[in-house]
Amino acid sequence: MKCLAIADLFINKAMMDAGLNALRDKGIDVEVREWSHDSIEKLQEDNLRVEQEGAEAVTLPAALLEGADDFEILITQFAPVNTAVLDKLPKLKYIGVLRGGVENVNQQVALARGIEVMNTPGRNARSVAEFTVGMMLAEMRNIARSHDALRDKFWRKDSPNHQAIPELSGKVVGLVGLGHIAQLVAGFLSAFGTEIIFYDKYVSGHERYEKVDTLDELVTRADVVSLHARMTPETENLINAHHFGLMKSSAIIVNTARSGLINERDLIDALQTGKIMGAALDTFDDEPLPDDSAFYLLNNVTITPHIAGSTLDAFSNSPKLFAEILLKKLS
């Protein structure tokens, strides 16, 4: 079998080559080509367009697919696999995406042509889980705000929660979704002595963590609400003004998953009016954040530029992990 792997600035050619050696060891002919961008920012712009508008929104350079008519396997991280790409790969049987989601593949066209689309579940789960706990601490303990103030030579002691700065110990953390990332977060938080509750209609229960019956109950009880659900039409605006009205005024919300899980306008209103104490966010409806974003003016939010899953370990391990998945499929 022949495999075409498309590298990028995050999983570069060397990483892809090394990570797919297991395929070569099994007799699969692997060729790695690189989807070039002038900068990480340019790659992120293309990636964001694909996530928001679908695989057909971005066109790959023609040279990337020259002489590709005999490949049966295509492996990519961010490169869009759209109708034009599939037309260049008439013998294709498998598409491997080196991420948990497969938003960059036109799945309808792939399915119609009998091509199996495979993902790489859990490839950056630890990265996101570690980052999530860090965001909780950053917002609750004013780490980012204090750093910014001190960089401006201001010895800041006050903060939105300065009269009641909490510890994680003894607090209730509510996880919306109990997939791989959420379970890692829960495990990390056990060292802090937190109480974990979760809401996930697709999980019947858990031996260590309490399942609640409704999202309303979770947000009412939690001191920290952390989002870990997948983005689907069903989960769009999952958290909105109704839920902010139920949350404790001392509570914070953390989102390192997808921005669409929260109604962003309702969140901003809840932060501006003090309905909740704060938020820690790594994803936004508009990325990069526009210059007039209300988030820049809020002093009770910790914001980061969609970097929760971006670690060297996550990127370098992804091809290795997918190679194992594919070989198991082919065996």
What is d(CA 68, CA 71) in angstroms, rounded to the nearest whole number?
A: 6
234 is catalytic: no
Q: What SS3 string covers 59-107? A: CCCHHHHCCCCCCCEEEECCCCECHHHHHCCCCCCEEEECCCCCCCECH
Q: Which of 45, 56, 217, 287 is catalytic?
A: 287
CB atoms closer than 10 angstroms to residue 319: 29
Closest CA to 123 of 175, 181, 185, 40: 181
156 is catalytic: no
What is d(CA 194, CA 5) in angstroms, rounded to the nearest whole number?
A: 43
126 is catalytic: no
**Residue 76 corresponds to which tokens in the numbers above?**
């990519």
88 touches 109 (CB < 8 A): no
What is d(CA 6, CA 328) in angstroms, rounded to the nearest whole number?
A: 21
Q: Which of 33, 123, 243, 258 is catalytic?
A: 258
What is d(CA 89, CA 286) in angstroms, rounded to the nearest whole number?
A: 34
For 14-47, the DSSP string reads HHHHHHTHHHHHTT-EEEEEE---SSHHHHHHHH
What is d(CA 322, CA 123) in angstroms, rounded to the nearest whole number?
A: 9
Closest CA to 78 of 61, 56, 103, 113: 103
Q: Which of 123, 145, 228, 306 is catalytic?
A: 306
Residues labelled as active-site residues: 258, 287, 306
